[in-house]
Amino acid sequence: MPTKLPYAVQPGSIRKIFDKIQEAKTPDRFTTDFLETKLGFRGGNYRQFIPLAKKLGLLGSDGSPTDLYKSFRNHHTSKVAMASAIKIGYREVFDRNEYAGALTRDQLKGLVVEITGLDANDRIVALVCQTFEMLKSMADFETRTETLEDKGSTDKSGSEPPTEAGRNGHELDLRLAYTINLVLPKTDDPAVFNAIFKALRDNLMRH
């Protein structure tokens, strides 16, 4: 019975490729030629890496490295990136247990059997579990990275929203403008207008 859960025929060989990826330059497209020529992995067992990486969200459908791939290459974020990749590739497992990364081997095997419908002794079940465990050894499910949702209190420019004190005007540079409408008397005497504007100026200067 086929399964959508990712697995490698030889999980140990796949681990070597992941180690090499962190040293090599990110390609425009991760092809078989790149795998064999640039990374130095030849043979059918190594070629299974590409479809596996696509299921994990590390490569796009055309083989182009994703942001997750690039995060994995960063030694500071590689383990968190791998945890995210595992959650993508084994979504059905995490749908049944959001803490699947902390399951024992027997507990994981039970979920794989439940999801696939395969016999517990089926070789595919063993390979799925072995691949999951291999990937988990490179992952960190505990550390959280800051996301846009975590930055919900920060706007797009990166500035913090005004504090309560700021909303009260204590930390803001307030600039107020006034519009004054005057109803002037009908007169041709300039002294009247001078007196009105002088009084207006004197009163405004007090504030």
| Tally of structural domains, the chain | 1
What whole-number distance in Å separates Cα of residue 51 and Cα of residue 46? 11
126 occurs within a structural domain: yes
User: 103 lies in a domain?
Assistant: yes
| Residue 124 CB contacts under 8 Å (≥ 6 apart), including other chains | 3, 7, 116, 118
Tell me if 108 is assigned to some domain: yes
- Encode the chain (207 residues) as per-residue pLDDT tens digits: 456 899 999 998 899 999 999 999 999 999 999 999 999 999 888 999 999 999 999 999 999 999 999 999 999 999 999 999 999 999 999 999 999 999 999 999 999 999 999 999 999 999 999 999 999 999 999 986 543 234 333 343 343 444 444 445 444 445 555 556 666 666 666 666 677 767 666 665 555
Residue 166 lies in a domain: no
Asked, for residue 157, whether it belongs to a domain, the answer is: no
Domain assignment present for residue 2? The answer is no
Q: What share of the chain is helix, strand, coil (3-state, %, to 5)?
A: 50, 0, 50
For 15, the domain range is: 11-136
Does some domain include residue 62?
yes
CA–CA separation, 174 vs 75, rounded Å?
47
Phi/psi zone of residue 169: left (φ > 0), alpha (ψ -120 to 50 degrees), beta? left
Task: Give this prediction's pTM.
Answer: 0.68
- Domain assignment present for residue 99? The answer is yes
